[in-house]
Amino acid sequence: MTSPIVSPGGDADVPPPGEATVEAVQAWLGPMDEDAEVLADTVAAVNSLIVTWRGPRPETGWPAHVVRGLNMLAARLIRRRNSPAGVEAAGELGPLYVQRNDPDVAMLLGLGTYTRPAVG
């Protein structure tokens, strides 16, 4: 059983090695009215996508920081689904857009500028 993951700002337990789970993404997002099938499909897609980025999943599962990044990425994709034009909210100063890149997710997954240098 996976340990609970709470929303940012709370006391979050470090997830055990493995992969993203529907329960962890739901805990990260908090109360929501998302279709369970869409959430499960998004989690499956994220777990599949990481293999193309990092190679085969280790037998022991992904390390805790990668699992956290996978859960955060799945939650971000679910949130993005609710803002098809990229607008998160409309405020006093105009629309607030969903950020194009999430540096926290990139850091946890080792993407972009956080990729380890490699030779060959």
Tens digit of each residue's pLDDT (9 = 90 or more) over 34-63? 688 889 999 999 999 999 888 888 988 899
CB 105 within 8 A of CB 69: yes
Q: pLDDT of 67-120, one tens digit each? A: 999 999 998 888 877 676 666 667 777 777 666 677 888 888 888 888 888 787
Q: Whose CA is closest to 51, among 20, 23, 15?
A: 20
How far is C-alpha 94 from the geometric centre of its chain's CA atoms? 27
| Segments of 25-107 assigned E as strands | 87-91, 94-97
Q: Which residues of 70-83 are buried (b: 16+ CB within 10 A; e: fewer)?
A: bbbbbbbbbeeeee
Residue 59, Cβ neighbours under 10 Å: how many?
5
